[in-house]
A = this chain, B = another copy of it.
């Protein structure tokens, strides 16, 4: 069923004529109100809209209706369960304040991140939550559009911006102290390639705990922050005859791949190699063995971030740091 060819755009009046109703009734159907329309009439209008190919101008409509109480969320990798669970928590926190969330992936590329921020500002969001892949993201386009930005997933305060994040260094100290409490004297580290402060702070926390206990830092393995990266790290551990008895692994995704490589080689976890992880994603609960992990409090952080945006006060220099508690399961040697 194609629209008849015509030289001018289809108007609401055309639809009204075709459906045998008033132009106001077409408007009620298009805008789902303010008045109700009888089901048969409504169906007739919908058919006319389809037959004629009528398309109300969407942006003009958005303007008129003022539907713009929306937060833009930019994260680097939606396929990372930590981020998808964080995104979900942000949607819930926003919904409680009557705000909608639109979401875009910056797909692990700085050029793309800048583009995505630019598009978000042009799309007319009221504020942006950004989990940047770099410590010093380019926020000029958002500033130019007068749109507030709150940075997610930050280890430390960021000059000129509001931010939230876990206390990465403190949490890491607790994680490694827990392994030391199990009697481990050589504790290795599986970390990532990014030199961002969240990574650096987790590495420092590992070192802090080891040095405070009078031990020597174990070997460091650097792999991507992915399951496949963790698998590669596990392969290296398996092949190392002089391996540590425990590893602190900086993300749940890496831990999942790490466990898999150890299983493939017939090693026992925690008997041969104990593991404490970081993130506390849902995946960590159902791995084998279940991961002892530092739980990043995504719900609490999501609420704080949305509140910072929603307040619309000058938010410069505010940083909310959140404790990431130890969740004890089996990979560390407990129970």
Residue contact A32 to B285, C-beta cutoff 8 Å: no
Question: Nearest chain-B residue to A45 (Cβ)?
Answer: B144
Given A118-B32, A123-B62, CB of A79 within 8 Å of CB of B88: yes
A263 an interface residue at 8 Å Cβ cutoff?
yes
Q: In the complex, which of the residues B55, B107, B260 contacts A288, with contact meaning CB atoms closer than 8 Å?
A: B260
The complex is assembled from copies of this chain, and their number is 2
A 23-47 contacts with B by CB, 8 A: 29-30, 32, 42, 45-46
A81 an interface residue at 8 Å Cβ cutoff?
yes
Contacts of A88 in B (CB 8 A): 77-79, 105
Alpha-carbon separation in the docked complex, A123 to B60 (Å): 10
Alpha-carbon separation in the docked complex, A125 to B124 (Å): 13
Q: Is the interface of A mostly helix, strand, loop or mixed?
A: helix
Q: In the complex, which of the residues B91, B144, B227 contacts A107, with contact meaning CB atoms closer than 8 Å?
A: B91
Alpha-carbon separation in the docked complex, A316 to B47 (Å): 13
A240 an interface residue at 8 Å Cβ cutoff?
no
Distance in angstroms from A251 CB to nearest chain B CB is 13
Distance in angstroms from A16 CB to nearest chain B CB is 13
Alpha-carbon separation in the docked complex, A145 to B147 (Å): 29
Residue contact B227 to A282, C-beta cutoff 8 Å: yes
Residue contact B53 to A146, C-beta cutoff 8 Å: yes
Residue contact A68 to B78, C-beta cutoff 8 Å: no
A 61-76 contacts with B by CB, 8 A: 61-63, 65-68, 70
Question: Which of A2, A77, A122, A147 has most B Cβ within 10 Å?
Answer: A122
Chain A positions within 8 Å of B, measured between CB atoms, are 1-2, 29-30, 32, 42, 45-46, 49-50, 53-56, 58-63, 65-68, 70, 77-79, 81, 84-85, 87-88, 91-92, 100-105, 107, 118-119, 121-126, 140-141, 143-147, 227, 230-231, 256-257, 259-260, 263, 282-283, 285-290, 314, 316
